[in-house]
Structure 1
Amino acid sequence: MTSSVATYAHIDLVDADDRYLVTLRRPAQRNAISGEMIAELHDACAVMERTPKPVLLTGQGQHFAGGADIAQLRERTRDDALAGINRNLFDRIAALPLPTVAAVPGYALGGGAELAYACDIRIASPTTVFGNPEPGLGILAAAGASYRLPSLVGMSVAKQVLLGGATLDADTALRHGLVQEIADDPVAAANRIIDRIVRQSALALRFTKKIVDAPGDQPWVNDIAQAVLFEHTDKAERMTAFLERKK
């Protein structure tokens, strides 16, 4: 497997043959999400949108991301809030064309939790803790938790986190379906999931993700997407290979 590495000030982006690996790299600050990191992640998104591949997102060291950079957050104004600085980035990550898998060691708090919620699949480590303590800082979890967490764990559990200050450790997150599994090495586990993903049809995955994420029930969209796939050479080749293996 060949790969290239783009090293920014606060993230690394590895462009491999069949996947991207994005690593948050501020371990001394528990990978707190700063304005500079947000800008770098936007640059990474532009790369990943131009040439779509599955994405593995993780944090360097013992933690995924311990939240936003509070020193910077304290200085943000009403206009900054209206600009949706963190939300726009996390929505962009959620909209990446192919599946995203977050390997989540240690803390995923505040904006770090919301970044993990924006991914399609999450893998925990035994030390993982999800939480949204924003009301304790006089703000709300405005970068996706209010509309992603209820769909991931249900309204009752989401309210326990967002209103009651509860945190979800790895076992609790697994029990409520927030993570797929708990692994001593979540990056290795995430790579195994991506190994399965890349064996599937990229176009079928793109359509499936877009349809699953779309609001409301629109069965006719499934028919249109299926019609496109039925006429694609990938379908004939994959089904022929399947039938040949069964002989």
Structure 2
Amino acid sequence: MIVRTDHGRVAVLTLDRPQKRNALNAELCNMLRDSVRGAVADGARALVLTGSGTSFCSGADLDDVYTADFRDAHYAMLHAVVDAPVPVVAAVNGPAIGAGTQLAIAADLRVVAPTALFGVPTAKIGLAVDPWTIRRLSVLAGNGTARALLLGCAQLDADAALACGLAERAGSGADAITWATEIAELAPLTLAYSKRVLNDIVEPVSDAAELDAAFAACWGSEDRAEGRRARQEKRRPEFRGR
């Protein structure tokens, strides 16, 4: 139910459960978690997440959502995306509701098609999202928009998502892959370090000494020297992540 296609250094992971509009159950969450980790282990420099058909992810499968197994699998999957040491781009090709919005905001960047739609209607079904989701949504979309989504069960279309900062670009899945391909050519150590610090704004977890070491590693890396050489030689740098 997860289809992986590789485009050079970019791995595209597609939710493929069209009969349920890509709704998440525990099995699919576990598969996506393993696919993210597997793609990184195989050397992917960037990931693209998307959905098959006309939906990105219609939310949690209501046949599964009330179980402890789903909750554990769901949050393990979200944090696998957040903690991936490479940039993750969500190609939101259609509705991303509830757990779909959570998956989209777990990614680092979002590219939205005209049919994209975001919403977190947990108040309509007596459920709740974790504090991390609320904080991240507030940081990305603004506190007012987060309140509208969570307290008013409002929905955001593509234009509204772009206007408030929840999405960074308008475009198709192909556009997301193109952007991810460009990102995959950048310095991996710098990207991983920047991602960690940006994530810490939402929920500080990194050890200060580890971050200092990661920062110093960027400045002392072979990639930094390669960047300087490439500039002097007027060519594109070839970063190796060391």
- TM-score when scaled to structure 2? 0.87
Residues 1:132 and 1:36: Cα distance change in structure 2 (over 3 Å): same
For residue 43 of structure 1, the aligned residue among 17, 23, 34 is 34
CA distance in 2, matches of 1:221, 1:71: 42
- Equivalent pair of 1:48/1:96 in contact (CA under 8 Å): no
CA distance in 2, matches of 1:161, 1:24: 24
For residue 234 of structure 2, the aligned residue among 222, 234, 245 is 245
User: Structure 2: which 5+ residue stretches go unaligned?
Assistant: 236-242
The answer to whether structure 1 residue 110 and structure 2 residue 98 are counterparts is: yes
- Equivalent pair of 2:5/2:13 in contact (CA under 8 Å): yes
The CA deviation string for residues 69-98 of structure 1, in whole angstroms up to 9 with x for no partner, is 011224x2xx547x6331221011111001
- Equivalent pair of 1:106/1:128 in contact (CA under 8 Å): yes
- Equivalent pair of 2:138/2:146 in contact (CA under 8 Å): yes
CA distance in 1, matches of 2:90, 2:112: 9
> Which structure's relative contact order is higher, taking Cα pairs within 8 Å and 6+ residues apart?
2
Residues 1:226 and 1:146: Cα distance change in structure 2 (over 3 Å): closer
The CA deviation string for residues 29-49 of structure 1, in whole angstroms up to 9 with x for no partner, is 111111210121122133134
CA distance in 2, matches of 1:13, 1:163: 36
CA distance in 2, matches of 1:80, 1:39: 10
The answer to whether structure 1 residue 202 and structure 2 residue 188 are counterparts is: yes
The amino acid that maps onto 1:128 is A
Q: Find the counterpart in structure 2 of residue 71 from structure 1.
A: 63
CA distance in 1, matches of 2:208, 2:64: 45
Q: Find the counterpart in structure 1 of residue 173 from structure 2.
A: 187
CA distance in 2, matches of 1:218, 1:172: 36
Q: Find the counterpart in structure 2 of residue 100 from structure 1.
A: 88
- Equivalent pair of 2:37/2:84 in contact (CA under 8 Å): no
The answer to whether structure 1 residue 21 and structure 2 residue 12 are counterparts is: yes
Deviation at 1:164, TM superposition (A): 0.4
Residues 1:72 and 1:222: Cα distance change in structure 2 (over 3 Å): closer
Deviation at 1:208, TM superposition (A): 1.4
- Equivalent pair of 2:22/2:52 in contact (CA under 8 Å): yes
- Equivalent pair of 2:26/2:69 in contact (CA under 8 Å): no
Deviation at 1:143, TM superposition (A): 8.2
- Equivalent pair of 1:59/1:104 in contact (CA under 8 Å): yes
Task: Please give the secondary structure, in 2, of the residue aligned with 1:71.
Answer: coil
- Equivalent pair of 1:93/1:118 in contact (CA under 8 Å): yes
Q: Find the counterpart in structure 2 of residue 139 from structure 1.
A: 127
- Equivalent pair of 1:104/1:123 in contact (CA under 8 Å): yes
CA distance in 2, matches of 1:205, 1:156: 29
Residues 1:208 and 1:132: Cα distance change in structure 2 (over 3 Å): same
The amino acid that maps onto 1:123 is V
- Equivalent pair of 1:123/1:181 in contact (CA under 8 Å): yes
Task: Please give the secondary structure, in 2, of the residue aligned with 1:58.
Answer: strand
- Equivalent pair of 1:18/1:54 in contact (CA under 8 Å): yes
Task: Please give the secondary structure, in 2, of the residue aligned with 1:141.
Answer: coil
User: Structure 1: which 5+ residue stretches go unaligned?
Assistant: 1-9
Residues 1:219 and 1:47: Cα distance change in structure 2 (over 3 Å): closer
For residue 228 of structure 1, the aligned residue among 213, 217, 222 is 217
Task: Please give the secondary structure, in 1, of the residue aligned with 2:48.
Answer: strand
